[in-house]
Amino acid sequence: MPTDALRPLIRTADLADVPAIATIYGDHVLHGTASFEEVPPSVDEMTGRLRAVLDAGLPYIVAEAQGVIVGFAYAGPHRPRAAYRHTVEDSIYLAPEAQGRGLGRALLDELIRRCEATGRLRQMIAVIGDSANAGSIAVHTRAGFRMVGAMTNVGFKFGRWLDTVIMQRPLGDA
């Protein structure tokens, strides 16, 4: 759990949260390498993404501290083909002021718990943008993920080539 006064409520995201989610994600798109997107998606686009996750029966959660959304996480389908239906891919994004306080781990733990509670999901994949993203790699390692591979120089952003780290964790009895 978070190590300081930031003790957020973690709950299911709803449509009223989308502007805050879009702002947090947009900051990562513009200033970070966790996402390989280069143009922040609109609120309408983010609304569609939220609906798609929830309509698939997968968890999409937010962390709310003192009435403000400070982070979000969701489990989306790993791939669209039917054979992958028991495997999800996690995504976690935090507002700049919420980073480094244990919130990413709290969101990931809750996401794992909710995925396991479905009884139908067996594996969670983390596709981490930028092999230099030590914070995300460490959070996933502490949550029981193991490194299963890396793809080198697959993304180009901010004038440099970026790797993608692939980590995996079983869910439930898998």
Banded pLDDT at 174 (limits 50, 70, 90): confident
Position 23, amino acid: T
Question: What is the torsional sign of CA 25, 29, 31, 34?
Answer: positive
Query: What confidence score (pLDDT) does residue 92 get?
Result: 98
Contact 2, 94 (CB under 8 A): no
Query: What confidence score (pLDDT) does residue 1 get?
Result: 40
- Residue 119, exposed/middle/buried by CB under 10 A (0-12, 13-18, 19+)? exposed
Relative to beta strand 146-157, strand 123-129 is unpaired
**Of 135 and 7, the one with more pLDDT:** 135
Reference 92, options 68, 76, 116, 115; nearest CA is: 76
Contact 70, 25 (CB under 8 A): no
Helix, strand, or coil here: 56?
coil
Query: What confidence score (pLDDT) does residue 7 get?
Result: 77
Q: Could you tell me the pTM of the whole model?
A: 0.94
pLDDT tens profile 41-94: 999 999 999 999 999 999 999 999 999 999 999 999 999 999 999 999 999 999
Query: What confidence score (pLDDT) does residue 6 get?
Result: 53
All domains of the chain, ordered by start, with CATH? 9-170 (3.40.630.30)
The pLDDT of residue 14 is above 50: yes
